[in-house]
Amino acid sequence: MAEAHQTLVLNNLRSRIYVEADGQMKTGRDVAIAALLGAEEFGFATAPLVVMGCIMMRVCHLNTCPVGVATQDPRLRKRFTGEPEHVVNFMRFIAGELREIMAKLGFRKLEDMVGRTDKLFPWKAIEHWKANGLDLTPILHQPEMGADVDVSVSRIRITAWKNPWM
């Protein structure tokens, strides 16, 4: 993600597209890191499904969901106990954690965080024995850009459900 952001900035294309982070987004910290690396769209899929009651049986395509989340069978749909309020509450917790992180980093708007890799500090990870010798500076590099480069972000979008066929 950071490399895509850097390349777009270097070619003065950053203001023309939106970069989305998707996959295993579960916390406000995940959203904050994705924004700092250059994302302005954030996709949530698995976590809201679990909040709704999904037990991840991986049989969605068979119309045999044991908890009634992903089925059209009326008999199985009766087992569904999820409420939309559960997902709303989950997203509020994420937003609350994100607001705390933003305050610690000195940001008022999420738009201001996009691409600010200078706020990421990887030293704790580098001190771990498995990461010995790992150099993250190329990934966290802030590219040189002239005054004519537009890196403004006009919108932030969070999707709580991704339809793979759209």
**Per-residue pLDDT tens digits of the chain, which is 166 residues long:** 788 888 888 887 877 888 888 888 999 999 999 999 988 889 888 899 899 988 988 888 888 889 888 888 889 889 888 888 999 999 999 999 999 999 999 999 998 898 888 888 776 656 777 777 777 777 777 777 666 656 565 555 555 555 444 4
pLDDT of residue 5: 80
According to the model, what pLDDT value does residue 129 have?
76
* Long-range Cβ contacts of 72-81 (<8 Å, 24+ apart): 80/53, 81/53
- What is the value of pTM for the model shown? 0.78
Measured from the Cβ of residue 37, the count of other Cβ atoms closer than 10 Å reads: 23
| pLDDT for the residue 40 | 87
pLDDT at 87: 92
